[in-house]
A = this chain, B = another copy of it.
Amino acid sequence: MPKNPHDSDVTFIKALAELLNENDLTELQVKRDYGENDSLNVRVSRKQEVAAQIAMPAAAMPAMPAPAAAAPVSGEATSPADDPANNPGAVTSPMVGTVYMQAEPGSPSFVNVGDQVSEGDTLLIVEAMKTMNHIPAPRAGTVKRILIEDGAAVEYGSPLMIIE
């Protein structure tokens, strides 16, 4: 999610919403990156009712208590394309546990957005079974985003940070 939404972003999204309505679509996805590589990634879909229900049986189970976006889920958007876990720079949790951003309460965070990290630098700690597991950077790069908060619960595969 953009941190400082421009008016033009709003206009853009509004235009997409209208498009969706006018054309009776059910889904419209855009991935944009006008940075170095100037890329665009569009997905437009109009699912037939039946196909939709079959393809997304979770949605077709309204009576069933929603598989609660359980504690461990990081609270990010759920659409697959938005999911930071799909970002090629994502560092995901190798285990279930509780995240600590610093070595101990009061200490500075291991890393902050914008930091340069080397491969093997500790990014954060995941505590599981009273054990503090240091999660190392899988590669050198810049911390682009931090996707979890101190004290949050994570499950296996939860995206933690984006390092590019």
Query: Given the complex, which residues of B lie within 8 Å of A32, measured CB to CB?
Result: 9, 39-42
Query: Given the complex, which residues of B lie within 8 Å of A11, measured CB to CB?
Result: 6
A interface, how many residues as a size bin? 35 or more
Tell whether A1 is near chain B: CB-to-CB under 8 Å.
yes
What is the predominant secondary structure among interface residues of chain A facing chain B?
mixed
- Are A35 and B34 touching (Cβ within 8 A)? no
A→B interface (CB under 8 Å): 1-6, 8-48, 50-51, 54-55
Beyond A2-B6, A21-B23, 9 additional pairs, beta carbon < 8 A: A1-B34, A6-B8, A17-B25, A20-B44, A20-B45, A20-B46, A32-B39, A48-B51, A50-B50
